[in-house]
Each structure stands twice: as structure tokens, then as C-alpha cells.
Structure 1
Amino acid sequence: MTLVREWSAIIAAWPLREDARAAAQARQLIRGALTALGLQSDLVDDAVLMVSELVGNAVLYGDAPFELVLRPEQDELHVEVLDGGTINPVMRVAGPEEEHGRGLAIVCEVSGARCGCRHDVPFPTRDGVYGKSVWFAIPRRGQIAVPCFSGDSS
């Protein structure tokens, strides 16, 4: 994990595995970080669900490398899943028998449509690497004390 000194820009950034185990890794990381920041358990659970959906999509449809980033904004925390791909994610309507196709709709619904996609985003833990960021926001309920860290920690 990389914790960045300029925490007003990034709280934490984690490189993720480049296989199907990335979603489990990301769920554990975001749960730990948001719990440590004092977010309410319902918000943490929502964020874990949305991270799982976005990382799953990145692994299935995006390109490596993959990264999970937590950023503070005005009254929200933005959670981003970066991948090396350039193709925009597409929300679609899945039929009742389909196993895939609901992830972005779930993220849109759970986040209250506070989600999106950006391109040419630098990977915080990889110098000179840029990719696509698919993100969602969750509200900050109450004050969150964000520590100031520097350097790498595992």
C-alpha cells in the first residue's frame, strides 16, 4: 500500500493482483481503510460491494495493471478502480437468466448515481503509467480524521 503525504489528494493507493483474486484483495483493503477512517458500517458495506463490482469488471473487461485508490473530496470519499484499458464501461440491462451485466447498475444505484469514468489518470503507485478510472463516491458522515503518512508500507 502507498499512503501519500498530500492526503488532500489521495488517502491511499494499492496495486492490485492481475487476476480474479483482485476483487477479494480490493474488498479486504477498502473495508480495512474505511473502517479505520471511522465510516459507518453500512457505508463500508456499500463501498465493499461497489469495489467488488468495479474490480471484477476491470479484470474481466479492462487491461492490467489494476489499482485501488481512495481520495477525499468535499463531503465525499471517492473510491477509484484504475486499469490500463481505454474503453469506457457500458451499463446494460441483464436478463434474469444472465450471470453478468449488473455490476455498473448496482454501483449506480448504491452510490445514488455518484459515479463515473475518467481517462488518462495517472496510477499513483506506478510512475509514468496512465489508465482509466471508474469511480464512485460515498458521503462522509461525521468528521473523519485523516492521518498524514509517507512512504510505502506493506
Structure 2
Amino acid sequence: MTLVGERSIIIAAWPLREDAQAAAQARQLTRGALAVLGISPESVDNAVLMVSELVGNAVLYGDAPFELVLRTEQSQLYVEIVDSGTISPVMRTAGVDEEHGRGLGIVFEVSGGRCGCRHDVAYSTSQALYGKAVWFAIPMSCPIPVPRDSGDLP
């Protein structure tokens, strides 16, 4: 798996709700930001699906507060969901009748394996907090233009 590099640049970060509405909020923020960045509609749809899965996992199994972070490095866009939990997510195979257990597998498949988890991550929206970031990467055909200030994104 590819790791988020030390030289990546944060292009947007948002605190997320601490309830079941966090996934909807994250989907809306992701769709809007990626549209502004000129990401292809198919990649936007895939990113929104993966964000929804990761935020759902964070709310169910992680610890608040939660945040959504977009980073860029060379020709990759990294999307991270940060929570204050310390336990790494584990991909598993869900039974036919199980309601949960498919999210990480979906993220792995849709991202082509460009996903992972990093620990001891400083929150972008609150520098005093640390947690883990579960992420996926979207390969880009050219570098993403970095907005001059966060007001350029929704």
C-alpha cells in the first residue's frame, strides 16, 4: 500500500458531525470539493462512496471528534477520515446476512488497493488533538492545483 507522504499538502479540512449525519455531511463536502478541483465525475462518485464507508466506520467503531481531510502530493489526491481512536480497522469478509463488514473491502476494491491507516496523526482542524487517519488515494493524470486559501473550496 502507498503511504501518505510527509510532503503532502493539505488543501481542505473540515470537522465532521459526531452522529449518524456525519456520513451525509462528508459526502456533500467531498462532492463539492472534488467538483471545484475538476475531478472527473466517475472519480467523484467513487470518492463519495469510499468517504461514506470510511465515515460510517469511524462513527461506528472509532472515537469522536471526526474530520475529513483532502491532501495532495504529486499526482495523488488523498482523502482521509481522522478520528481519535487508536485501533486500526481490519478488513474482513462479511456473511450474507450480516449488515456490516463490507466497507473496507469496498474501499480497497474501488481504490485499487490505494488505501490504509496511519496513527499519531495531528488533526488539521484542532492542532491539540491526535488520532488515526484512514485514507484512500485517487490517482490523477496531472497534479491538482492547490487553492491559495481554504475559502476557494466549499
TM-score (norm. length: structure 1):
0.90
Corresponding residue of 1:118? 118
TM-score (norm. length: structure 2):
0.90
Corresponding residue of 1:56? 56
| Residues in 1 aligned to 2:115 and 2:55: alpha-carbon distance in whole angstroms | 14
Give the deviation of 1:145 after TM superposition.
2.6
| Residues in 2 aligned to 1:85 and 1:113: alpha-carbon distance in whole angstroms | 23
Q: Which runs of 4+ in 1 moved over 6 A?
A: none
- Give the RMSD, CA atoms, in angstroms: 1.8
Instruction: Give the letter for the 1:87 counterpart.
Output: I
Corresponding residue of 2:26? 26
* Count of aligned positions: 147
CA contact (8 A) 2:70 2:80 kept: yes
Corresponding residue of 2:74? 74
| Residues in 2 aligned to 1:150 and 1:28: alpha-carbon distance in whole angstroms | 16
- For residues 108-130 of structure 1, give each alpha carbon's deviation from its aligned partner in whole angstroms, at most 9, with x where no partner exists: 00000000000000001102100
Judged with a 3 Å threshold, the aligned counterparts in structure 2 of structure 1 residues 150 and 45 are, in CA distance, closer, same or farther, namely closer
CA contact (8 A) 2:77 2:144 kept: no
